[in-house]
Structure 1
Amino acid sequence: MKKFRKVLDGLTTSSPVNVGGAPPCSSTAGTPPTASTPRDFEVQETLVSENFQICKTVRHGFPYQPTALAFDPVQKLLAIGSRSGGVRILGRPGVDCYCQHESGAAVLQLQFLTNEGALVTACADDTLHLWNLRQKRPAILHSLKFNRERITFCHLPFQSKWLYVGTERGNTHIVNIESFVLSGYVIMWNKAIELSTKTHPGPVVHLSDCPKDEGRLLIGFESGTVVQWDLRVKKADFRIQYDEAIHSVSWHHEGKQLMCSHSDGSLTTWSLRNTAKPFQVTFPHGKTQRDGKKPESCKPILKVEFKTTRSR
């Protein structure tokens, strides 16, 4: 046990305290009193390392290096994933929870099971996790590791038991959300695109169900190909070809049109009545050239959302 010698200096007065009006004691009148000497104390340390524990008491500000967002519109919960594998869940005042993937892999995508108190996370180590949010501290219920393909995009339709997982190879796998195991149904890239096309369409960058029919899945490939796949009859309804890489796709709420954002900064709008070419091409951030031709290319639009107003 360590011992410390503590010197208290300056805490005593330079002259005795006069109590009750009595004159200070002095052997010789007029001789100043002798100055007090410092006092030494032996202080024994009784605390050891076992008495201490490091813990986080407060967390402030937006999560560092965010990589993914998800929102539950019923429970009003916002989930934010980070590059270090953390997930922060925010809700009404007082609802603030943080959980961490043990692998530390970056969170690529988040999917809420709407109003069911569960969350799916897709991480950069090609692992899917199902989190239970109904308990005081969220915990992982199931995990599913992809060994041969890298995960690029996930989609979980509203109140569906099937999770669609797109991969870098262009294939789409289907996971049962209850058992969290892969089903035998796989949409292979060479079946989704034109049979006469031998060029690989690239990774899957978008998956979504048709607003009019949840039995039809829209698949967007990085190369610029978009396919609507009929899950029941296992064949494509239509295919869209464009010469610019796709970053995101969004449906019109009526399910009759869709919009794509591309690598050249353009937005293309397509009608399902005629999928041969887009009926509208815009460059929201591009400057019109003097000759009046096509606006100059600009940075890619990484995310597009097809929204409407009351007048449209």
Structure 2
Amino acid sequence: MKSVSHLQASQLLHNKFIVVLGDSIQRAVYKDLVLLVQKEKYLSLRQLRSKGEMTFEQDCLVEGGCLGQMHNGTEYKEVRQFQSAHHLVRFYFVTRIYSRYMKSILEDFRHGLKPDLVFVNSCVWDISSCSWVDDYKENLHRFFDELREALPEETLVVWNLTMPLGERIKGGFLVPEHKAPQLRYDVIEANFYSGTLADAYGMDVLDLHFQFRFSLHHRMKDGVHWNAVAHRKITSLLLQHAAEAWGVILPCPVTVYGERKSGVTRTCRKIFSTSRIKCGLLLSKLSQVPAPQPYLPVLPAKEPSELQLQLPLEVPQPHGSTDACTRSASLKPAI
């Protein structure tokens, strides 16, 4: 699989608002995305391991992190945001798929700027307790139900399945010692249920567990996190999936072949997974729609300016911070 280049990522996400929700692995996904829209470079080991820092590659710590108490507990908070003239990327650190804090994030979506792309996962922290099954299933239902109500239909929501865990887990995850060996098998069960449920709610599903089953050499020694090469592959999978959903040909220059109507591009969406789960539970309801043909010659769009959608001049203030580095900012309109 070819990696998405800096130029491709920058053009694809031009005037887009992207939100990443999840744990420390999702934080690294956010960091790699922020890095790629600015330059052709991989994350360093120090950047992968850092958390809660005041700034990363011209982004801004909005809430939590070193502004609050640094710890490895489930109440840890970290909100980051990167903003340029034509890109807005935000990250929320969460340890539970549904909680009081998650409800406040959903309120941000209801009353603030609507994201164009939401990339979300929450699993390892959720299933670390002994009796996780019923609670996790119920919380997934609540989250998907409220997320669908909070976001407009044109927002692309991608639920990514949790990547393979190692036999031994060490580091930041507070997992009971007797639970650790079983956790990697619980992840498979949790992935099956969350992926099926996400599809039932109309979300897209990106199966990272399947994609990385033969790439375990890119997993770090703690048994949970992954190196910079793996994260660039995750970013490429995500952007390729988003491009297909938005009807965009990735090879530069970016070309749109989706049909636009009332300001919204008609897209073809499917679950981005090649794994075959019994009964086809992870097959998309929209899989009957003909898939786009990215390798066929495509005429340039008649109105290239359609890609240059203007972001609102005001970015909403998410829940929480009034610190010097604020969530509210202004984006220049596209020229």
TM-score normalised over the length of structure 2: 0.27
TM-score normalised over the length of structure 1: 0.28
> Which has a greater percent of helix?
2
> Which has a greater percent of strand?
1
Q: Which has the higher contact order (CA 8 A, sep 6+)?
A: 2
Structure label with greater radius of gyration: 1
